Each structure stands twice: as C-alpha cells, then as structure tokens.
Structure 1
Amino acid sequence: MSIPTVDVHAHVLLPQIEETVAGAPGHAEHRELDARRNGPASVQASGKMIGERIERLTRAEARLADMDAAGVDVQIVSPSPSHYHYWAAPDLARTVYRMAGEATAEHCAKAPGRLHGLGLVPLQHPDLAVEALDHALSLGLKGVEISSHAPGRELSDPELEPLWARAAASGAVVFLHPFGCTLDERLDRYYLSNIVGQPAENAVALSHLIFSGVLDRHPGLKIVAAHGGGYLPTCLGRADHGWQVRSESRTCAEPPSRYMRRIWFDSLVYDPGALRALISAAGASQIVLGSDHPFDMGVDDPLDRLRAALPPGDELDAVRGGNAATLFGLKEQ
C-alpha cells in the first residue's frame, strides 16, 4: 500500500448558487461591498480569470486531468469561497448551504476515491451551524469550509461553541479559508485585497481561535488553515510575548505558539524557504499539501514545490499525503 498524494485545497464553482441568491434582499449591497474592497481593476481581472478557467472549476473531467498532470491522486474539493454569502437571511442561508453541499457531493461522486468534498456553514446564523455541519456529513462530505469571520461575528464568538463541539465530536474537518478583508478600500488596488488581505485574515481568525480558548475547550477540533496560516506563523514571538506581559491576552492555557501543533496548515506559501519555516513553526505532522486549484493565486505544481523544500523521506511523504490521509480518514492506495 502506498501513501496517496492529497491536495486539500481545491475549489469547485457552483453557478446554481449564484442564480439562486441573485436579487435577494442584501445581494446588491454585498456585490457593491465586494467591488469596493477589491477595486475595479481586480474585479475585471478576476472575471476574466474565472471565464478562462470555468471548465476546470466546474467539470470533474477537467479537474482529474489537472490532477494527473500535477501528480495528485486525491483532492479535497471545497466550494468557491464566493459562495459563502454571509449576508443572507436564515431561509436563504439554509438553501445556500444545502445546495453547496449537495452539488459538491455530486461533483465528487463523479470520481469516487479521488475526489472528496466539504460543505458550507452560514457563520452569520450560529443557530444553523450544527445543522449545516450535520447536513454535510450526511452527504458523505469530510467537513465544512468557513471564512475568517462573518459580519459582526468573529470565530471566538461564544454562539459558535456548539459548532466547534459538534465538529470535534464528529471528527469533521473545518477548513478555514478567508474571503474578503475588512481593511476595505485600503486594499482596493494592486490586488492587495488578496495578496495582503487573505494572509491578514488568516492571522486574525486563528488568533481569535487561540486566544479565546476554543482550542483548549475542544482539543479534538480539526482546523485546517489555508494559505499556510497567513501571517500568524511568522509572528509567534510577538504573540507569545503579548501573552506573557498582558493580562488581557492571558486567556488561553498555553503560549500561542504551542497551538501551532494543534492546527493543520496547507503548504501554499509559494517559496521553499517559507515552507521550511512553516514546518519549523508547526512541525511536519501539521502540514498538508495545498494548491488552491484552479485559481490564479494557486499553483499548478504543488508537488514539485514541496520537493523543492524537502528532500525525499518521511517528512516529504507526510506532507505529500500521509498527514491528510489520516486527517480526512482516507484509505491508502
């Protein structure tokens, strides 16, 4: 039996969701905010990019061809973060998470064993969170994808405690993938909304989970952070120092750096030196392969980039797929 190469960070686009939410109360305001945060140049460029990659985003056959070219055996497929729609009212939010889970499961069913999926959770409605997770699991999905926050609600919000408890008890994976940044117009040029905004959102969201004690209260929680956890792994010394000297920061049981060993991080940090630094901070056991397939901020050669950072051996095999196979309960091939 061999260890499969597993890409945990890949997306599927579900046009039927966008058709369903179009024209609903709050949708126009959401689109305006998104456009304002990204700026006209990035909105135009993103639209062109999606158009050019639509087959790879929607057709399983195209996905499998990309995987074969990259040497990837298995993908964990999550809905495009553009489908979060955290502005939606409860009834529409329920429709969105159900459609997302069912469509993702249908997409993955076209290649059993090679494709596994994640559902969505409407973070803006904590009373729907557990039901959304259970719906995803009932479809055979491996867990759920969430953003770094919902409007007015951080991941440290006590109302989300039932979600963390249910995820820990069920063994479901929670994939933390930011979408949008509250720095707004400060990042509306040069694609800074993504280049700077996404790593910042990762750092903020993970810090809320750590400092609020969520990981202390739910030690079995499986959090996978996209984009290598953003800026957090590079600022652990500052986090630990604040925890030591500020009473209002001494809210988790251990120094923040210790929690890196309780979180999983994808390998999508682009640079071999950055990946080696992430491994040094979190341990090879906490790193999983990620590509962000097939978006342009992703990479088509995640395995080659991993090999550029690590020599052949146990650590490379663990990051290549062993860690993910255990985390997601996949069978060896």
Structure 2
Amino acid sequence: MSAPTVDVHAHVLLPEVDALVAGLPGHAEARELDARRNGPAALAVSGPMVRERIPRLTDVSVRLAAMDAQGVDVQLVSPSPSHYNYWADEETAEKVYRLANEATAAHCSAAPDRLRGLGLAPLQHPEAAVRALDHALDLGLAGVEISSHAPGRELSDPAYEPLWARAEETGAVLFLHPFGCTLDERLDRWYLSNTVGQPVENAVALSHLIFSGVLDRHPGLKVLAAHGGGYLSTHIGRSDHAWSARSDAGAGCAHLPSSYLRRLYFDSLVHDPHVLRELVRVAGADRVLLGSDFPFDMGTEDPVGVLRAVRLPDADFHAVRGGNASALLSLE
C-alpha cells in the first residue's frame, strides 16, 4: 500500500492567543514593527486575504473538505507564525505557548487520523523553549514551530544547546518558519517582505545552524525548513567555496556546508519546478516533503499537481508526496 499524501506546511489560526496578548506591554510595538516591515499596500491586501480564509484556518470540517479537494490525506498543522509573540516576557510567553499548544492539539484531535500538530516555543526565552517542547510532546504534538531568530539571538546562540539536545533526544520535529525579515523597510513595497524576506531568513537561519556546528553536535536533529530552505540550496556552492578558502568560514563546522543539506528536511514550496528539482538533487529525494502553506495566498492550492509537474522519477515523486513525511512523523 502506498504512503498517504502528507502536506507538512499547513497553518491554524488561534484567536485565543491573539486575545491573550492584546493590549499587553510590547504588543502594540510588535504590531507597529510588522506594519513597517510589510508596508501599507501589503497590509491592505493581507487583511481581506486572511479574513476570507478564516474558515479554512479554524474550522476542522472546512479544512478536511479542502484537503479532500487537494488530494491530501494528512496535514502537519502549525500555528500561524503571527502567534510567535517573541516580544513577550517570560510569564506571558509561558501562557502563549501553553495556550497555543493546547489549542492546536484540540484542533487536530477532531480528526486524529488526518491531522498532526506542532506547538510553539518561545525562542526569546531559551530555557522556556525546552519546557514548551516538552509540553507540546506531552499533548501528542510532533514538535514545535520556530522562527529564524529571536530578538538579539541567532539560532547559533549557545543558549539554544539544551533545546537542540532535547529535540534530538525526543525525536521531535522543529519546523523552521520565518516571520518577519530584519531588512525591515528596505522590503516594505511590492510584498518584498515576503517574496525576498522569507527566503533570506531561511538561508540565514540554516547557515547559522550549519556553520556553528549545531548539526555536528546534534546529528539526529530533525529540522524541517519551510519554503524549501529559501535561497540556500541554489547558492550552497558559495558557502562551500568560503568554507574551503577561508579559515574564518571553516572554523565552526567539520564538513562542507553542502553536506549538511542531507541532514535537514525541506518542504517543496519553492514555486519553480527547476528549483524544486535542484533542491531534490542537493538535499536528496528522501529529504524533501510536500508543503503547500495552506491556506494562504503565498501557498499553492494544488500541491500534488505542482509536484507532478516537476517530473521526478516515480520513486522520488512518491517519497516527496508522502513517504518521507510518513517516516518522519511515524504515521501508521
């Protein structure tokens, strides 16, 4: 029997988390930063876009009907990255991750054979992030979703070593999904905040994990990068050259940077069949998983059709369609 079709990049909106943080010190400033980064034209389009999709983001029956129409058997559901709230103090952050984890688990429990979930971990408080991961796993979630950085901290920060160690020990999935790009107002027109910003943040975050030796110290870590890992896979040769040519670039990791792509996982959402073929080539057909960014406008309504258009060998097509995700998530 062939593996189910599994979409590993699908989101749930959690109004209870937004209600929890509304009006708290720091919340307005975070919203203002987000507005500055995106610009008024993007916000004018994004507001109605999200509102139109609220049923798919919150109602399990609507979600399942959409999955049926797409030919998707199972979704790995993660909170909308707008729920990260990395500005929050430790007490608030604890409330946020507990509520987000519980609400996501409840959403998925309405269709346990078709929905697996991910929780949140507050990267701005590394010790709390470990507790958040344990809380998510205790609820039956597959792991947690994290952004590309937290204020003042990159993923290479030694403070995250306990999080990587715990994730490796438990076999948890860490879904790397950026929210916001630190290029700020340089990207505030034409939706560059997303089209350029997300791939940049993915590439920067993964480079921190690679070059700092995190993946050497934690070879069993299960990191799944959204958006195909951004620009990294198509430009990894530049990283390899630097590692070979410069002592500073090669100081932190033991092997060629490109070799670490085969230790990471990537979703298939790159919007270009040639780029997806290249991702499969450099990471391996066993490391790329179907992803749609359900149900947002920067995703795809037909993830299986998009994958089929790449014309991969049959075995590779079925691995990406669902076999790899079935193995990663231990689906029956």
**Aligned-residue offset at 1:48:** 0.8
Which residue pairs with 1:149 in the alignment?
149
**Conserved? CA contact 2:104–2:118, under 8 Å:** yes
Aligned-residue RMSD, C-alpha: 0.7
- Aligned residue for 1:2, secondary structure, equals coil
Mapping for residues 1-333 of structure 1, pairs under 5 Å: 1-250=1-250, 251-311=252-312, 313-331=314-332
Q: Deviations over 1:93-117 (max 9, x none)?
A: 0000001100000000111110000
**Conserved? CA contact 2:181–2:193, under 8 Å:** yes
Q: Distance in 2 between matches of 1:19 and 1:276?
A: 42
Q: Distance in 2 between matches of 1:324 and 1:53?
A: 25
Q: Deviations over 1:158-181 (max 9, x none)?
A: 000000000000000000000000
Q: Distance in 2 between matches of 1:245 and 1:305?
A: 38
TM normalised by structure 2 equals 0.99
Q: Distance in 2 between matches of 1:170 and 1:312?
A: 33
**Aligned-residue offset at 1:234:** 1.0
Letter in 1 for 2:320: V
- Aligned residue for 2:53, secondary structure, equals helix
Q: Distance in 2 between matches of 1:207 and 1:149?
A: 12
Q: Distance in 2 between matches of 1:171 and 1:311?
A: 29
Instruction: From the superposition, tell whether residues 256 and 312 of structure 1 become closer, same or farther in structure 2 (CA, over 3 Å).
Output: closer
Give the fraction of aligned pairs with identical amino acids, expressed as a percent: 69
- Aligned residue for 2:163, secondary structure, equals helix
**Aligned-residue offset at 1:89:** 0.3
Q: Distance in 2 between matches of 1:17 and 1:170?
A: 26
- Aligned residue for 1:100, secondary structure, equals helix
Q: Distance in 2 between matches of 1:199 and 1:286?
A: 18
Q: Distance in 2 between matches of 1:311 and 1:104?
A: 34
**Aligned-residue offset at 1:310:** 2.6
**Aligned-residue offset at 1:127:** 1.3
Q: Distance in 2 between matches of 1:290 and 1:326?
A: 16
- Aligned residue for 1:20, secondary structure, equals helix
Report how many aligned residue pairs link the two structures: 331
- Aligned residue for 1:310, secondary structure, equals coil
Please list every run of 5 or more consecutive structure 2 residues that lacks an aligned counterpart in the other structure: none
TM normalised by structure 1 equals 0.98
Q: Distance in 1 between matches of 2:286 and 2:312?
A: 16
**Aligned-residue offset at 1:2:** 2.6
Letter in 2 for 1:255: L
**Aligned-residue offset at 1:312:** 5.9
Q: Distance in 1 between matches of 2:122 and 2:157?
A: 14
**Aligned-residue offset at 1:311:** 4.4
Letter in 1 for 2:260: Y
Deviation beyond 3 Å, 4+ runs, structure 1 = none
Q: Distance in 2 between matches of 1:287 and 1:53?
A: 27
Please list every run of 5 or more consecutive structure 1 residues that lacks an aligned counterpart in the other structure: none
**Aligned-residue offset at 1:248:** 1.2
Q: Distance in 1 between matches of 2:147 and 2:154?
A: 10
Q: Distance in 2 between matches of 1:140 and 1:94?
A: 18
Q: Distance in 2 between matches of 1:85 and 1:246?
A: 38
Letter in 2 for 1:107: H
Letter in 1 for 2:265: W
Q: Distance in 2 between matches of 1:70 and 1:257?
A: 33
Q: Deviations over 1:204-234 (max 9, x none)?
A: 0000000000000000000000000000001
